[in-house]
């Protein structure tokens, strides 16, 4: 697993609303806009993209995202399996995981969808997890955010400045964010619940259809609803997802009726889903000693759908406990049965670095990078191993090639900054560091880094021209962001 430093930035953005918020009740539903026709009078698709990008920068800067290439790859593969069967897709969707054990998921402008790690580990099947993602995709494709803003603009001026700072905080950490929002949202509570209820019903209907059309079990949605409802029926503190997605029993029954309208489908368990759950538990939840006991017990009692997933979780737990030889033995056994499995390759890369088996790691990753060019797990781990070996020029080349195809890769720019620092290429180091800053929306700091880079680029005329051009681009992006407020 590649570990990078987290950056924080206070980026205040206007006109932003989260799809998942609910407030006091109302019964007047006559003003619900027509599907596919609403929202455009207030926000164009292009403006939604701009706002979504700005929000995503703030999320990156919060330091709560799981910057884990394997899990990023998994959740985007799953999400895009659903997106390719969705209607009215106006954006390139981006899926990400928030390191939070609360059960929650959320969507915002521009096709950005966040899933809390706790929701993934709580789902029993991939269809249950996919049902939540399909629901959030439906919030985006039905333009529920724009529709809510349009409705609010009819009833009162759009004075959102007082609530913006709490919006993303509420999505990412509901317990803290709700307190931040409570004093600011009173004026729009009545309107909010009306749209929440209507939007939730619509997202359920569209999401279950999307789930079925994408090859998943449509019963995954009501099964997950029912599980949550039963688990927290008598709880004084419901999970975040029930705070942000109200779940009356009628909604569960309606979802089950909708799901039963589709043909029965038996979807077999999926190894990648179980591996993702094991990875989150071993690396982001619990104590390493406890996790070793947990996975050992699971293996002995055959508690996992796949033995390989429990063994993988145990190997990761051994790694966290610095028992590298035990982790190596388990991972080599797993890799023999599934040579191109990126979950295993990523974990083994870390182990081989700790055991200083650099040549073995380099060969493994060179082969997989050739087989899967521009795959983030293969490329970033390969570059990291080359960096550890001191093969800095080759590491930089791998990262530069990767960034041509993935210009928004936070991890790649962070690694490249380290490579340039070790090469004593100060101009390029500051340029790369500026891109890290820009990805979290810290434009003034990014421009400062580029201006510093100019001081070290006197004998690099091409680099100086590129720096000047990039400064102008970032200043333009900064101006666009100001105009959104």
* Cα 54 to the center of its chain, rounded Å: 15
Confidence category of residue 107, pLDDT binned at 50, 70, 90? confident
pLDDT recorded at residue 90: 83
pLDDT of 164 higher than 80: no
pLDDT recorded at residue 3: 52
Within a domain: 177 = yes
pLDDT recorded at residue 31: 35
Average pLDDT over residues 192-208: 74
Q: Show Cβ contacts of residue 323 under 8 Å, excluding neighbours closer than 6 positions.
A: none
Confidence category of residue 234, pLDDT binned at 50, 70, 90? low
- Domain of residue 138 covers 45-260
The helix/strand/coil state of 173 is coil
pLDDT recorded at residue 253: 85
Within a domain: 333 = no
pLDDT of 29 higher than 60: no
Q: Is 144 annotated as a binding residue?
A: no
Range from 262-276, 315-329, 471-485 carrying the lowest mean pLDDT: 471-485
pLDDT of 259 higher than 60: yes
Contact call for residues 379 and 409 (beta carbons, < 8 A): no
Q: How many domains does the chain have?
A: 1
Convert the pLDDT of each residue in 49-100 to its tens digit.
888 888 888 888 888 899 999 999 999 999 999 999 999 888 899 999 999 9
Within a domain: 126 = yes
Average pLDDT over residues 248-254: 78
pLDDT recorded at residue 58: 83
How does the average pLDDT of the chain come out, rounded? 82
Within a domain: 111 = yes
Convert the pLDDT of each residue in 395-405 to its tens digit.
999 999 999 99
Nearest Cα residue to 97 out of 246, 280, 248, 254: 280
Q: Is 135 annotated as a binding residue?
A: yes
How far CA 400 is from CA of 34, 140, 156, 422, 475, in Å, comes to 46, 33, 49, 16, 24
Within a domain: 239 = yes
Within a domain: 106 = yes
pLDDT of 428 higher than 50: yes
pLDDT of 140 higher than 80: yes
- Give, in degrees to the nearest 5, the angle at Cα 241 between 235 and 242: 45
Confidence category of residue 282, pLDDT binned at 50, 70, 90? very high
Contact call for residues 272 and 74 (beta carbons, < 8 A): yes
**pTM of the model as a whole:** 0.84
Average pLDDT over residues 270-289: 96
pLDDT of 167 higher than 60: no
Within a domain: 205 = yes
User: Based on the number of CB atoms within 10 Å of its own CB, is 118 exposed (0-12), middle (13-18) or buried (19 or more)?
Assistant: buried
Convert the pLDDT of each residue in 432-470 to its tens digit.
999 999 999 899 999 999 999 999 999 999 999 999 999
pLDDT recorded at residue 384: 98
H helices present in 261-375, as ranges = 271-284, 288-301, 307-320, 324-337, 342-354, 358-371
pLDDT recorded at residue 37: 40
Residue positions annotated with a catalytic role: 136, 204
Beta bridge partners of 119: none
Confidence category of residue 27, pLDDT binned at 50, 70, 90? very low
pLDDT of 226 higher than 90: no
pLDDT of 389 higher than 60: yes
The helix/strand/coil state of 211 is helix
Confidence category of residue 302, pLDDT binned at 50, 70, 90? confident
pLDDT of 166 higher than 50: no
pLDDT recorded at residue 469: 97
Contact call for residues 170 and 180 (beta carbons, < 8 A): yes
Average pLDDT over residues 477-482: 84
Torsion angle, CA of 50/451/409/314, rounded to 10 degrees? -130
Within a domain: 242 = yes
pLDDT recorded at residue 215: 96
Confidence category of residue 417, pLDDT binned at 50, 70, 90? very high
Average pLDDT over residues 267-293: 96
């Amino acid at each position: 697993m590649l570990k990078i430093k987290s950056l924080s930035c206070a980026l205040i953005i206007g006109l932003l609303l989260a799809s998942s918020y609910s407030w006091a009740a109302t019964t007047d539903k006559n003003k619900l806009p027509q599907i596919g026709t609403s929202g455009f009078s207030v926000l164009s698709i292009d403006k939604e993209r701009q706002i979504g990008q700005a929000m995503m920068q703030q999320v990156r800067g919060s330091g709560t995202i799981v910057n884990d290439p394997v899990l990023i790859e998994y959740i985007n593969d799953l999400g895009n399996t659903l997106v390719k069967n969705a209607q009215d897709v106006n954006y390139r969707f981006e899926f990400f995981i928030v390191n939070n054990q609360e059960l929650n998921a959320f969507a915002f402008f521009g096709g950005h969808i966040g899933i809390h790690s706790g929701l993934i580990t709580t789902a029993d099947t991939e269809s249950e997890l996919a049902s939540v993602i399909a629901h959030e995709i439906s919030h985006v494709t039905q333009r529920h955010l724009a529709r809510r803003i349009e409705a609010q603009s009819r009833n009162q001026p759009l004075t959102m400045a007082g609530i913006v700072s709490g919006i993303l905080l509420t999505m990412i950490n509901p317990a803290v964010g709700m307190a931040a929002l409570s004093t600011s949202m009173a004026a729009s509570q009545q309107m909010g619940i009306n749209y929440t209820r209507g939007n939730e019903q619509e997202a359920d209907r569209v999401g279950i259809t999307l789930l079925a059309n994408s090859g998943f079990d449509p019963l995954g949605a009501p099964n997950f609803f029912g599980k949550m409802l039963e688990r927290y029926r008598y709880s004084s503190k419901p999970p975040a997802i029930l705070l942000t997605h109200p779940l009356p029993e009628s909604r569960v029954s309606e979802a089950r009726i909708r799901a039963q309208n589709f043909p029965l489908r038996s979807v077999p368990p999926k190894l990648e889903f179980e591996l993702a759950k094991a990875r989150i538990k071993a690396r982001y939840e619990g104590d390493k000693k406890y996790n070793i006991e947990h996975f050992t017990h699971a293996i002995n009692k055959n508690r996992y759908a796949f033995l390989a997933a429990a063994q993988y979780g145990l190997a990761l737990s051994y790694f966290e406990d610095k028992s590298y030889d035990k982790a190596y033995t388990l991972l080599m056994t797993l890799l023999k049965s599934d040579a191109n499995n990126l979950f295993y390759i990523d974990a083994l890369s870390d182990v081989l670095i700790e055991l200083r088996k650099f040549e073995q790691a380099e060969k493994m990753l060179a082969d997989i990078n050739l087989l899967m060019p521009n795959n983030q797990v293969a490329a970033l781990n390969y570059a990291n191993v080359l960096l550890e070996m001191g093969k800095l020029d080759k590491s930089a080349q791998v990262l530069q090639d990767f960034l041509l195809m993935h210009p928004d890769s936070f991890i790649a720019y962070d690694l490249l900054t380290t490579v340039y620092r070790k090469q004593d290429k100060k101009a390029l180091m500051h340029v790369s560091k500026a891109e890290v800053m820009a990805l979290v929306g810290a434009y003034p700091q990014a421009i400062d880094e580029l201006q510093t880079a100019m001081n070290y680029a006197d004998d690099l005329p091409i680099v100086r021209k590129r720096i000047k051009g990039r400064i102008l681009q970032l200043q333009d992006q900064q101006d666009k962001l100001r105009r959104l407020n």
